[in-house]
Chain A
Amino acid sequence: MRLPTILLAVTLVATAGLALAASPVRQAILDGYAKEAGVAAFSAERGKAFFEASHAGGKPETPSCTTCHGMDPRMPGRTRAGKAIEPMAVSANPKRFTDSAFVEKWFKRNCDSVLGRPCSAAEKGDLIAYLSSL
């Protein structure tokens, strides 16, 4: 009775650990942005400030990432048309940042909507660092 229980516990912990470990695709996406930005590491704090800031230059309806995603990335957001958006935090939604074409498509759209310009590779990396840190 005892040994199986311990084994089960060990297995569960190991599985949880694996699930939390950075996905190789997410890491590759981050590595790509790091190379493009010429930086060694990203800053979750800068990513948080960027996520929460009100930006000028974009469309008036969408001044901030939080307009649709909300202040707590672990919670679902809501589009301006009322549809739920799955959480952005990797801890709440492990699928986040695991498909580079999808990630680039939404950065392209939403950076234009919110900032009126493309996001830099550094901004993208900081943001993913923040959303992976929660």
Chain B
Amino acid sequence: MPSSRNRARLLAAALAVSVSALAIGLLAGPRAEAEEEGMSIPPVADATVQAECSACHMAFPAALLPARSWRALMAGLDDHFGENAGLDPATTAKITDYLVANAADAGGHRSPVLRGLGPDDVPLRISETPWWERQHRGEVSPSAFKDPRVGSKANCVACHRDAARGFFGDD
């Protein structure tokens, strides 16, 4: 049974790849079997964060930035990368609590995501952390991010189709 299930999954993945205009293959992105082998990062598990932070892009996993970054980002939602993404104070506080509690450094954790970041560095973008740059250097040509089907480094889902479920491809 497991092997036929796997085959079905591969087939589904292959179909999805060939059908999707944003298919990874075109961009030399993570392969379809990423989901079996690749890095997995817990997706946002809070309904409020999921609802409020996924309107304009995927809800980015809390574990991809340190707590100080989330605090700074949440303090500036009215001017969020050139847009007003403001929320009422109670919702803002609730979302901040979740992101901080699940941040890369929550509970003193030494996550690989923090490697290369100084204690005073407060990156507001995941895509500007040394960790993120390491994952993509040499793997993705810089022009791939400007491809109209991608448009932005922040458009993780264009290349990592299962990013919203926490799967980010293989090495």
- Is the CB–CB distance between A81 and B84 below 8 Å? no
- Judge if B57 is at the interface, Cβ distance under 8 Å: yes
- Judge if B130 is at the interface, Cβ distance under 8 Å: no
Smallest CB-CB separation from B57: which chain A residue? Answer: A81
Contacts of A60 in B (CB 8 A): 82
CA distance A113 to B80 in the complex (A): 10
| Interface bits B42-84 vs A (CB < 8 Å: 1, else 0) | 0000000000000111100000000000000000001101111
* Distance between A9 CB and nearest chain B CB, rounded to angstroms: 36
- Is the CB–CB distance between B155 and A61 below 8 Å? no
CA distance A62 to B79 in the complex (A): 12
Total residues of chain B contacting the partner, CB 8 A: 19
From A11-19, A33-41, A104-112, the one touching the partner chain is A104-112
A interface SS class: loop
Contacts of B8 in A (CB 8 A): none
| Interface bits A101-134 vs B (CB < 8 Å: 1, else 0) | 0000000111011000000000000000000000
- Judge if A79 is at the interface, Cβ distance under 8 Å: yes
CA distance A112 to B78 in the complex (A): 9
Contacts of B150 in A (CB 8 A): 82
A59-B84, A109-B85, A112-B86 given; 6 more Cβ-contact pairs under 8 Å: A79-B57, A80-B83, A82-B154, A108-B84, A109-B86, A113-B82
